[in-house]
Structure 1
Amino acid sequence: MTTDSTAPGVRIRDLTVVYKTPAGELPAVSGVDLTLTPGTITGIVGESGSGKSTLALSLLNAVQPPGRIAKGSVEIDGLGDVLTLGGEDLRRARGRQVGYVFQAAQNSLNPLKSIGKQLLDLGRSHDVADLRALVRDAKDLLARMGMDGARVLDSHQHELSGGMRQRVGIMLALALNAKVVVLDEPTTALDMITQATILRIIREIHEERSLTTLIITHDVGAVAEVADDLAVMYGGRVVEHGPINEVIGAPAHPYTRGLIRAIPRLSGDISLARALPGRPPTLGTLPVAGCVFRERCDTRMEVCETAEPAAVVRGGRTAACHALEHSPAPVRRKEYA
């Protein structure tokens, strides 16, 4: 694990994000507490609809209607509580202090402008004095990612492949030297070789620039290649969090165990891989009481129907499951090793 005193820490406390629906305001993220240690890469995994992207957007205070941040705080060292910022202060924080790579890179690029013009627009909007230096840095970043920087800056988004657009997104997120970087599904819809390349680039740039990085993904295997810590989300809650080798090696929450069992295997006993039963909840089907995972859980108990489990903290790891409250620490199992 890499830690660096120049990288900022991020502390998310009691974060709740709700969306207005015909049935009233329903929580997409509910009471999340999560700490990103300075200089580390934290992965957040979970199925679609678990609240991962909504949590990530909260780091920019960018949840859009019909959603709203109902309560909580997002403290970033050197910036303060992002959720209290507004207007010009918030605009300047986005890009300067917090860089964001969106899930579909092409959706964050202007199809009518070249990449270079969009880079210059970004620099001007943040009062960058030396735009030539900004372009030089962008070309260097693109070259490090295996691309011809001058050609890419002269191109429009439709002239670039999906992998190239993803790398352009990473470049734009880093162009203003942000120290907190959020990547939302950075390898989705990319081939395996391109995925591996982008993950390697993320790790290298993270270490070189002393960043604090958050990677949102549904792919446990992919994030295991680069992350230091892993948070597992389900039904808008963080159900497990800790050092990634420990979480994957000895998962404490039944949902984490299910996600790991579902990873396809290329060797060993392939029968060990099996899909999670049932479907993840939607905003409209989230239970109002009890454990959000109980309908799909193979260790459910009577208390799971009525009481939400509290987070059990053991040796720097947390997991929210009633079965853990009176059980010994999880043991590393052979199939997870």
Structure 2
Amino acid sequence: MTTTSPETGGHPGAPSPPGLAGGPGDMTAPGVRVRDLVVVYRTPLGELPALGGVSLTIEPGTITGIVGESGSGKSTLALSLLNAVQPPGRISAGSVEIDGLGNVLELGGDDLRQARGRHLGYVFQAAQNSLNPLKTVGKQLLDLGRSHGADDPRALVRDARSLLERMGLDGARVLDSHQHQLSGGMRQRVGIMLALVLNAQLVILDEPTTALDMITQATILRIVREVHKERGLTTLMVTHDIGVAAEVTDRLAVMYGGRVVEHGPTMDVIGAPSHPYTQGLIRAIPRLSGDTAEARALPGRPPTLGTLPAGGCVFRERCPLRMDVCETVEPPPVLVDRRTVACHAVAGARQERVVREERVVREQERVGREEERA
């Protein structure tokens, strides 16, 4: 079931309207701080890490994109924000601090259900997975309202219909339909409606444009931008499509092998990528104009749970900048031009630049002293 939030303030349990009556001024966009998050999956080879100590800060009111190849850990990270990793997976270490909730990983039972319902909205990658095939959309909406204490079902339905109509759908017809009576794009919009109708403050979209035609994709992205701005949300978008990320997001985190390898302003990351993996992703994008032969696929294959290296840099087998230190030492994130990058080669180049700049400053100071003495 898609999780939603009737809360209008930053504190769980605050009174709130049952639908979309609250405006942006009534809500506080939460910030998110993920620290040293480790998620493991039980396999015949033992517990293997899907996330290996991820740290990520999502600023309040921003749209942050998570990109990377399949298996990089994007969806696992997104589910961890809801403390919703399912067996055989488990969160074994770290914290997920969300403003107004605290550490979500310390919540359980009814407290966790209420936190998901009152603070967080989630739009699943396959929209049909969040819909009950035996119930109409309207009945599922009422079930959702009852489970989260909405005391005015008519207002809830009215707000849902209004939001669906904003998305170009016949609200009344959709609410009276079962999922098999809706197209993929319509189901995706229903998922967005269910995630927003109770005023979620943090909205997580997992591949919201997958398998949609270009026109429907453009509609979904327009809706995401408009609703995010109007309601003052914090939004996390998981996508494999860098073009989608460039269209919508403010900040971009690039994941590989269960690690965040680069994170910063979207246009900085896409326009001048620093990590060799990010550079490879950008080079692999097909060209519609210019030299179409410039697009080159990344060599090799992304790692699986069973092939992730136990130590060192997870990208080293495919990296053109591979060094001896990459074999044994995992690169720590360093600040480079308004972004963080986890790469020994980039860190080394940055250190060399700093040393050169210090030499220039010292030389300028020396010349200045000599001129003063003269």
Tell me the TM-score normalised to structure 2 length.
0.86
Question: Which of 24, 28, 39 is residue 46 of structure 2 equivalent to?
Answer: 24
**Correspondence 1:153 to 2:153:** no
1:72 aligned counterpart, secondary structure: strand
The one-letter amino acid of 2:257's match is G
Question: Which of 16, 40, 62 is residue 40 of structure 1 equivalent to?
Answer: 62
1:31 aligned counterpart, secondary structure: strand
Aligned to 2:372: none
| Cα shift at 1:80 | 0.9
Aligned to 1:116: 138
Show CA shifts across 1:45-94 (max 9, x none). Answer: 00000000000000110001110000111111111111011111111111
**Correspondence 1:107 to 2:147:** no
Aligned to 1:219: 241
Q: Which has the larger radius of gyration?
A: 2
- Count of aligned residue pairs for this structure pair: 327
Question: Which of 50, 73, 89 is residue 51 of structure 1 equivalent to?
Answer: 73
Assess if the C-alpha contact under 8 Å between 2:336 and 2:350 holds in 1: no
| Cα shift at 1:261 | 0.7
| Cα shift at 1:324 | 1.1
1:325 aligned counterpart, secondary structure: helix
Assess if the C-alpha contact under 8 Å between 1:291 and 1:304 holds in 2: yes
Distance 1:95 1:30 in 2: 28
Q: Structure 2 matches for 1:181-220, cutoff 5 A?
A: 181-220=203-242
Aligned to 2:255: 233
Q: Structure 2 stretches of 5 or more lacking a match?
A: 1-23, 352-374
Distance 2:232 2:159 in 1: 17
Assess if the C-alpha contact under 8 Å between 1:49 and 1:280 holds in 2: yes
Show CA shifts across 1:130-154 (max 9, x none). Answer: 1111111101110110001100000
Q: Structure 2 matches for 1:32-181, cutoff 5 A?
A: 32-181=54-203
| Cα shift at 1:191 | 0.9
Distance 1:29 1:114 in 2: 37
Assess if the C-alpha contact under 8 Å between 2:29 and 2:201 holds in 1: yes
The one-letter amino acid of 2:68's match is G
Assess if the C-alpha contact under 8 Å between 2:252 and 2:264 holds in 1: yes
| Cα shift at 1:315 | 4.1
Greater mean deviation of Cα atoms: 86-95 or 153-162: 86-95
The one-letter amino acid of 1:196's match is A
**Correspondence 1:318 to 2:318:** no
The one-letter amino acid of 1:62's match is A
Greater mean deviation of Cα atoms: 314-323 or 102-111: 314-323
Aligned residues with identical type, % of pairs: 78
| Cα shift at 1:316 | 3.1
The one-letter amino acid of 2:298's match is L
The one-letter amino acid of 1:263's match is I
Tell me the TM-score normalised to structure 1 length.
0.95
Change (3 A) 1:95 1:264: farther
Assess if the C-alpha contact under 8 Å between 1:291 and 1:306 holds in 2: yes
Structure number with the higher helix fraction is 2
Instruction: Please identify runs of 4+ aligned residues in structure 1 that moved more than 2 A.
Output: 3-6
RMSD (Å) for aligned C-alpha atoms: 1.3
